[in-house]
Amino acid sequence: MTHTPRRLALLALVVVAAGALSVSFGASGLGPADLWRFFLGEADPTTRSILLQLRLPRAALAALVGGALGLCGCTFQALLRNPLAEPYVLGVSGGAAVGAVAVVVTGIGLRLPWSLPLGAFAGALAAMALVLAVARRASPGRMDTRVLILSGVIIGAFFNAVILLLLSIADVESFRSAIFWMMGNLSGADWGSTGLLALLLVPAALAVFSLARAFNVLSRGEEVAFYLGASVQRVKLTAYLAASLMVAAAVAAGGVIGFVGLIVPHAVRLAWGNDHRLLLPASFLAGTAFLLLADTVARLVLAPAELPTGVVTAVAGVPFFVALLLRGGRR
């Protein structure tokens, strides 16, 4: 742990640099010089409006969603003791997608503000409750991670079928909007949604950070952890609820953005080891930087049009993850 503060400080600098790039570049033509004048208080009203109402809230939302997904990926990998686990493995994203698609297809989103993220969040919470109920009913008195995974797969498959049903009855415009949201999209960011996401993430993230030592013990096996004094069932339940809540909030805010929660914790683990006292905060910071950079690319590559952020993370994530696997296999 002697290098932990230095490594976290390095990642924090990377986050600051990624945030500066995210705010500096976009389709409007503003550049780093305009950003500098803004911080000096010399920017014109148009520049101030673009930065305060568009770029800064979008960068803040990307940072929170990326950090949440990175931290959730690390948490699920510790909970399931599987380095290939990721935030959407337990059906939460499927529930969120059902809620969001239902709002779009029924036209509620055109009449009520914030109905899309609220619908996605409600769907994600419903998925959490279903998975947890099935898992606890199938393994009374304990929380078997194998049953939890199977429950998530089954619930996720059911929700995918519901999504296909809803899309099959949607009109062309609703179909397009639903698909675009499901690919991951941060273009609707504002300070209200960003603040609400932060309000949900902070307590859940603090709960996960408090489990770092327990995760280290749990990595040796549940029986060993029990005999070392860890409350295994409480740790697993707390980790599942906190991580699922973060996934629900992140998906509701930004859509289904894949690969962040898979490759970021895996990369940090390969670079710096398995100590969760470093791994958890490092995954949060690395996820933040990764999604900030991905969202910047999404806005620039086809400017003035935008790619869905989830497309960029997938295109970048697949070869990056293959490279990580090859590197790990040579060790």
* pLDDT higher than threshold 60 for residue 192: yes
Query: pLDDT per residue over 91-102, tens digit each?
Result: 888 888 888 888
Count of alpha carbons within 13 angstroms of residue 275, beta-carbon side:
8
State the pLDDT confidence band at 230, using cuts at 50, 70 and 90.
low
Q: Residue 236: in which H helix or E strand, if any? A: helix 232-254
Q: Which residue has the higher pLDDT, 237 or 323?
A: 237
Q: What's the whole-model pTM score?
A: 0.88
- Based on the structure, what is the number of domains in the chain? 1
In Å, the largest CA–CA distance within the chain is 64
Q: Does 64 have pLDDT greater than 90?
A: yes
Burial status of residue 136 (CB atoms within 10 A of its CB: 0-12, 13-18, 19 or more): middle
What residue numbers bound the domain in which 223 lies?
Answer: 4-329
Q: Using N-to-C axis directions, what is the helix angle for 260-272 and 309-329, rounded to 10°? A: 30
pLDDT value, residue 44: 77
pLDDT at 141: 65
| pLDDT greater than 80 at residue 224 | no
Q: What is the pLDDT of residues 261-277, one digit of tens each?
A: 888 998 898 888 888 99
pLDDT at 287 over 80: yes
Q: How many residues does the chain have?
A: 331
* Nearest Cα residue to 13 out of 225, 285, 197: 285
pLDDT-based confidence at 59, cuts 50/70/90? very high
- Unique residue bearing structure tokens 């895996």: 266
CA 179 to chain centre: 18
For the chain, the straight-line distance linking the first and the last C-alpha, in angstroms and rounded, comes to 22
**Which stretches of 159-266 are assigned E, i.e. beta strand?**
none
Grade residue 292 by pLDDT with cuts at 50, 70 and 90. very high
- We report the CATH number of the domain holding residue 168 as 1.10.3470.10
